[in-house]
Structure 1
């Protein structure tokens, strides 16, 4: 077996291969991060303050925006610090914590998207009984179940990975503690453990995606039976935002986590990871706000209140002076 040095800390290599671009990357990623926070917080505030948006679809959207915001907070601040610092070390405990929250929130996003597809199907299939079938209590139960199941799966993944022994190399070829780059550093990972990790990942991605596709197959059957072309268009427009988000979310995630891995693919995964850690959380609120009139109205009202608030505050301060 030879002599091994036990690893106690990791080095997040990330974009260290491009030292001349790190300042530019910091500026771009920081701008995206601020935009993500503003966009998702605007969506959540609009849903919270507008009583017309207190419906199951927007409750799920609120939960998705909150989960996406937390996901970016787990990854991006650490990435920004590493881009500016020479020391990019992270302890085993910090790495395990980051992985736990990232995959727990990521799995939560997948299950919430599944619940949203079921909500679309229920609204189309039973419009008269919809208020009874999808009450606020049932929505919160779906959200809590998604959260608990997501973090249980993430806990299992973290326990398996960090029960392994890491020796010699401690360089993670990524900007955060992702599954494949960390597992590649283990010196005693068996084929069975790799299969179990793949099974957990497939359960989250493939399992939730199958539920979404089953819902959309039933929705398609219902739409085809509609006699009115206007009714079909309205139904498609109602579900189009959700379907677009699903396509983007699962397209990137499945390509990264379900394809065969080797050390040469980690560089590609690092670039692709930017898509689902930065682009997806940014595109979700944009898609829902651009394709939804109710959301547009609520956002305009919210921004109007903000614009009116600042002059009033300045006038009050001026009068006091």
Structure 2
């Protein structure tokens, strides 16, 4: 009973074991502390960005509505993986039950898929704002924004509903150890004792489609934006137009670069160590960096933050 996670012709699940991010580290407590700090930074940074967007009427625009959705996804994203990993490190209990693994996998796939499409929606927003400014209030109305956000969450959940049940119903009998710090599909599939080649091909095609559609929208949008910017006579106008896109392009490159490695490169390019490093990059670092990118490089957000900080002393003076 100790070796298999799922015994063929049996119906009893046995817990998986997550090897973790730093199983052989000499300073696990220090690394754990660093990860906890990054978790707090990601949650507080994204929560603050959402609060600023909701509290400041100047930020009640389609662009910032979509940014708030991105921050929400990042909060769900990092909360799905890091707290469990930190808890395992503190307690020394690296087990995760099959249902918990399935839930973690589903949430992770849903948020990743949703973020793919949301980044595409954000590029479309910038395209309309720069290329069709007079029609912007109509093409990006509040109703359209809600439909775009809802569509992104729905398409992401389709990815989760498609891949999670199939992955978790394979027989696992090679080992109970998942060489990862969370239940990611490629890491879990390596434990299967059945032939998964057909499923891996279908998963690859699904991931290509999930990436290809948003990448097509993003590349088309920015091609049109670039052509429009080149026709602007004013250097200041060109600079302002490009500035509104630079933050989004930074996030796109960070997120899609890691996703292409994980889901589109052949298995010969993958090792457990490389996979974990890349996963750290886009499951932990990206949620930390996104609010910094959109706040430090955005004049409206920094002004809203200064306004909030100036209101607090005034409020305390009134209370006194």
TM-score by length of 1: 0.92
1:150 aligns with 2:156: yes
Q: Identify the residue that residue 127 of structure 1 maps to in structure 2.
A: 133
Alpha-carbon separation, structure 2, partners of 1:217 and 1:111? 18
Of 200, 203, 207, the match for 2:209: 203
Counterpart of 2:23 in 1: which secondary structure? coil
Instruction: Please give the per-residue CA displacement for 1:100-159, whole angstroms capped at 9, x wherever unaligned.
Output: 001101111111110000000011111111111110110010000000010111110102
1:175-194 equivalences under 5 Å are 175-194=181-200
Q: Identify the residue that residue 16 of structure 2 maps to in structure 1.
A: 10
Q: CA deviation at 1:263?
A: 9.8
1:287-298 equivalences under 5 Å are 287-298=293-304
Q: Is the 8 A contact 2:174 2:192 kept in 1?
A: no
1:171 aligns with 2:177: yes
Alpha-carbon separation, structure 2, partners of 1:258 and 1:193? 14
1:240-255 equivalences under 5 Å are 240-255=246-261
Alpha-carbon separation, structure 2, partners of 1:138 and 1:264? 40
Of 89, 95, 100, the match for 2:101: 95
Ranges in structure 2 where 5+ consecutive residues have no aligned partner: 8-12
1:277 aligns with 2:283: yes
Q: CA deviation at 1:186?
A: 0.8
Change (3 A) 1:121 1:131: same
Q: Identify the residue that residue 55 of structure 2 maps to in structure 1.
A: 49
Q: CA deviation at 1:227?
A: 2.3
Q: CA deviation at 1:269?
A: 1.0
User: Alignment length, in residue pairs?
Assistant: 312
Q: CA deviation at 1:162?
A: 1.2
Q: CA deviation at 1:307?
A: 4.8
Q: CA deviation at 1:221?
A: 1.4
Q: CA deviation at 1:264?
A: 6.4
Change (3 A) 1:201 1:131: same
Mean CA deviation greater in 232-241 or 6-15: 6-15
Counterpart of 1:11 in 2: which secondary structure? strand
Q: CA deviation at 1:229?
A: 2.0
Q: Identify the residue that residue 75 of structure 1 maps to in structure 2.
A: 81
Change (3 A) 1:296 1:264: closer
Q: Identify the residue that residue 240 of structure 2 maps to in structure 1.
A: 234
Q: Is the 8 A contact 1:252 1:272 kept in 2?
A: yes
Mean CA deviation greater in 160-169 or 54-63: 160-169
Q: Identify the residue that residue 225 of structure 1 maps to in structure 2.
A: 231
Ranges in structure 1 where 5+ consecutive residues have no aligned partner: 316-321
1:214 aligns with 2:228: no
Instruction: Please give the per-residue CA displacement for 1:60-88, whole angstroms capped at 9, x wherever unaligned.
Output: 00110011111111111101101112220
Q: Is the 8 A contact 1:14 1:173 kept in 2?
A: yes
1:25 aligns with 2:31: yes
Q: Identify the residue that residue 319 of structure 1 maps to in structure 2.
A: none
Alpha-carbon separation, structure 1, partners of 2:14 and 2:316? 51
TM-score by length of 2: 0.92
Counterpart of 2:267 in 1: which secondary structure? coil
Q: Is the 8 A contact 1:14 1:270 kept in 2?
A: no
